[in-house]
Chain A
Amino acid sequence: MMLAHALTRAARGLLLGLVLATAAAATASAAPKVGGTLTFGLPTDLTKVDPHKSSAFVDTTILSHVVEPLVTYSKKLEIRPLLAESWKFSDDYKTLTMTLVAGKTFHNGREMVADDVVWSFKRLLDPETKNPKRNLFENIADVVALDAHTVRFDLNKSQPGFLHVLANANPIPAILPKESVDANGEITKLVGTGPFQFTEWKQGQYVLLKRYPQYKSPAGPKDGLAGDRTPYLDEIRMVPMTEENVAVMALVNKEIDVLQYFPAKYVEKYKKQYSKEGIVLTEVPGMSWYQVFFGLNQPVTSNPDFRKAVAYSLDLGTITRAAYMEHAEANPSVIPSQSGYYTEAHTTWPARNLAKAKEYLKKAGYAGEKVVIDTTKNYAPMYKQAIAVQSQMAEVGINAEVNVLEWPVLLKKLYGKDFQMLSFGIGPKPDPVDAYQYLNLTGAFETYPEIKSLLDQANATDDTEKRRVLFEKIHLATVDTVPWVEFYNYNYLNAFRDYVKGYETLSIGVPVLWGVWLEK
């Protein structure tokens, strides 16, 4: 089973490589040109202009061009300097001292100094700021400015992975100037240190960013969100295109230059027609993942033998195709194949075996009780995969019912651990520790404390090899206990006009518009 899986992966890798090579050839060009306006089609409108209050991914797409954190991710998701040029942990990983880049200015012309870091993190941690993901930063006990360019983070408890917190992409722990807030503590005009300045937001119409001519870029070649971040475009006009068919028409009509999410259903038309009309399509493997959670405290699904029966009844490849056609990679692990922590052990998962599934059902004493799969149509793949799961489970005699809910109601059931099976999807988590925290939503930490213990050990070390082994053990523990079934990571389909050069999207889903120019 593992060999077959590896071969499928190799074939997919080759195919993807070809697509990417074509894309690279399309985007490669001579010297970058300064100037021009790029119109970028977003799936939705900006929700909040204040990065300290935002939790929406679309905000990261826009604001990551305006504001900057202390450290960031390379293309391979390694931590790289941004506003901090160097750092040092104490031996117990309870103190982090960082040296800031000297001479880095905000868009209002003032130099960014340690006091701004202190102010930004205190604001981020203030409950009055109402950051919905404030819990990510709760281990910070204090932030102290040691001098103008040195800052120290005191942590409540040892956290070797703390740099991942500082590099977080959503929400961005942005360093902002104190003077950017008004008397009510609200940001109406965002001021950052990034390559582009926030110029205007017309709700439902566009967000306008302008090049910051005094931008001081980190050294080194462009590498994900790190390295060379020089802006070449004069302006970026980001427009919400909520209706995907209209978004494609706008790209064809040259009303937009880039479409962030190209609908998979148009790929065939792209091959036949759009590829000859000056449109380039790239497919980037993403880190978001989709799954079905089991409620470990619920009738029927609390029985591990029943969950194993479900695991044996499912074919991950078919479910993946049902949800995303060929634009996703089946993966039974929360760790995506492009992660440095991905090993052969993460391909381990029961292959579909209907006889074994029936055997486990018998062992579980299953007598045809109804099992409910909660899902939503707000995110189509969650619904499609639920239908595929229901259909495959029916083949072994499991009486499953798909219960379609509104997104807020689904979330309420998830948080209340009030579900038997729940079809879900989660955004990119570069650190596997953050990804495995989702096991908590199934009740696995209480039911299987050994999994929690392995996760705590991984969280307490920065030794890559030790962590790799621990993550393998956690994955194998999920194979034994089946608190969830992981299905796939989907690819990002980006389409843009052929005169747009240097454009790329990262595996964490963030498009990069610095280093992009127009060859018109």
Chain B
Amino acid sequence: MLAYLLKRIVLMVPTLLLVALMVFLLVHFIPGDPAIVMVGGDATPEALEQVRRSLGLDQPQPVQFVTWFGHVVTGDLGRSIGTGIPVFETICERFPTTFVLTTLAMLFSVALAVPSGVLAAKFRNTGKDYLFMLVSLLGVSLPGFWLGLMALLVFSVQLGWFPSSGYVPIWQDPIAGLRYMTLPSITLGFFMAAVVARMTRSSMLEVMRLEYVTHARAKGLTEWSVLLKHALKNAFAPTLTTIGIQYGMLLGGAVVTETVFGLPGLGRFVVTAIYSRDYPAVQGCILFIALVYMFVNLAVDVLYKAFDPRVKY
């Protein structure tokens, strides 16, 4: 197990190097440059050139890459052109918000989706199955932006249960923090739940056709016991992969939810940085997100063994 973990971690190094190179190239291939965004519409060409020089954008791209990557390996992701603040500092300030939002959303979605998926499978092709799948179809189809605004309109403006704006970190004041996080995490979790429920249902249906499930039934076990103790355990492995992928993706920034609810997360920052061609910020954040994604994948692979005894490390 330890050897497996070490091997995976060592393999992350070339992957990160490749990601760094790709991110750098992609960001620099997008038309427009940060100097132009900084000066806006009213600078002379000379002033624009001066800003480009001061940002090092007049250097050949290979030189820019080596300079940037040289700093990255020492742990320095550079300073954001937009804010002037070190990128690492911004990540440290904003990532916890995204982490809490995504984790709460994931917990909500798993709590909602796994039972729904199991029930839909049990009552396959009945009214209950269609109802569960209709709700999950709505979850996948409804735009997060619209859902967020509707949630605010009903639960904040009409009922006054939750605030419509503002933010308190959950680690500073757990009660107030939860009030600010409830609507965003339910909105985000609803979308995740829809995907996870559909995956749980189809995995369950597949597993329930296998011989060992028939064998369990033949032993006289109750249907619930067959479903939960035998079928679900095996069916959960692909669901776990889906949860892992969703979680990893959203940790990179649940942009729409963060924007609608005004949460100071990493996603909003990255989108703003992309629009303003803030090269160091985009490169640093995406590199960090890639790293997070790799660790989430590793965690999912390690957890696999708990659900599928055939997996060996």
Chain A positions near chain B (C-beta within 8 angstroms): 41, 47-50, 53, 55, 127-128, 130, 132-135, 138, 186, 202-205, 239-243, 245-247, 249-250, 252-253, 255-256, 378, 406-409, 411-412, 414-415, 424, 426-427, 434, 437-438, 441
Contacts and interface: CB of A to CB of B under 8 A. Distances in A.
Contacts of B263: 204
Contact of B90 (A53, A203, A242, A255): A203
B165 A186 contact: no
Given A135-B47, A203-B94, A414-B41, 15 more contacts: A47-B82, A55-B40, A132-B47, A203-B85, A204-B262, A253-B164, A253-B165, A406-B32, A407-B275, A408-B276, A411-B41, A412-B32, A415-B36, A415-B48, A426-B41
A130 B54 CA distance: 6
B264 A424 contact: no
Closest 7 CB pairs of A and B: A204-B264, A408-B32, A135-B47, A250-B165, A132-B38, A249-B164, A132-B39
B83 A203 contact: yes
11 contacts: A48-B84, A132-B51, A186-B84, A243-B260, A249-B156, A249-B164, A253-B163, A407-B275, A408-B276, A411-B37, A412-B36
Interface string B42-69: 1111111011011100000000000000
Contacts of B46: 135
A298 to B, nearest CB: 18
A93 B149 CA distance: 57
A255 B163 contact: yes
Interface of B: 31-48, 50-51, 53-55, 82-85, 90, 93-94, 97, 149, 152-153, 156-157, 160, 163-167, 259-265, 268-269, 275-277
Contacts of B90: 203
Contact of B165 (A47, A50, A255, A408): A255
B148 to A, nearest CB: 9
B94 to A, nearest CB: 7
Contact of A411 (B32, B47, B55, B261): B32
Nearest to B168: A205
B277 A205 contact: no
A480 to B, nearest CB: 25
B38 A55 contact: yes
Nearest to A130: B54
B153 A249 contact: yes
A204 B266 CA distance: 10
A128 B53 CA distance: 10
B83 A47 contact: yes
B41 A130 contact: no
A130 B45 contact: no
Contacts of B34: 408
A240 B44 CA distance: 31
A152 B203 CA distance: 80
A412 B31 contact: yes
A134 B262 contact: no
Contacts of B31: 406, 408-409, 412
B110 to A, nearest CB: 28
Contact of B43 (A50, A132, A249): A132
Contacts of B264: 202-205
Given A130-B54, A135-B47, A409-B32, A438 B42 contact: yes
Contacts of A127: 50, 53-54
A135 B44 contact: yes
Contacts of A253: 156-157, 160, 163-165
A426 B83 contact: no
A205 B276 contact: no
A245 B205 CA distance: 43
B111 to A, nearest CB: 27
A263 B261 CA distance: 18
Contacts, number: 143
A408 B153 contact: no
A138 B33 CA distance: 23
A407 B165 contact: no
A378 B167 CA distance: 26
B47 A134 contact: yes
B40 A246 contact: no
A247 B262 CA distance: 9
B36 A246 contact: no
Contacts of A427: 40
Contacts of B93: 202-203
Contact of B275 (A205, A241, A249, A378): A378
A426 B265 CA distance: 31
A134 B42 CA distance: 11
Contact of B268 (A204, A255, A409): A204
B262 A240 contact: yes
A414 B44 CA distance: 12
Contacts of A409: 31-32
B165 A256 contact: yes
A170 to B, nearest CB: 9
Contacts of B82: 47-48
A246 B45 contact: no
Contacts of A438: 41-42
Contacts of A186: 84
Nearest to A204: B264
Contacts of B40: 55, 132-133, 411, 427
A249 B165 contact: yes
Given A55-B40, A127-B50, A246 B84 contact: no
Given A250-B165, A253-B164, A408 B37 contact: yes
Nearest to B145: A243
Given A239-B165, A249-B164, A130 B83 contact: no
Nearest to B269: A204
A12 B34 CA distance: 40
Contacts of B83: 47-48, 203
B275 A130 contact: no
B165 A245 contact: no
Contacts of A249: 152-153, 156-157, 164-165
A246 B42 contact: no
Nearest to B260: A243
A246 B54 contact: no
A408 B163 contact: no
B90 to A, nearest CB: 7
B39 A246 contact: no
A157 B43 CA distance: 19
Contacts of B152: 246, 249
Contact of A246 (B41, B165, B275): B165
A127 B43 CA distance: 15
Given A47-B82, A134-B47, A414-B41, A408 B269 contact: no
A241 B94 contact: no
B43 A135 contact: yes
Contacts of B160: 253
A88 B21 CA distance: 57
A242 B157 contact: no
A411 B84 contact: no
Contact of A242 (B53, B94, B262): B262
A55 B39 contact: yes
A440 to B, nearest CB: 8
A250 B84 CA distance: 30
A256 B35 CA distance: 34
Contacts of A242: 259, 262, 268
A247 B165 contact: yes
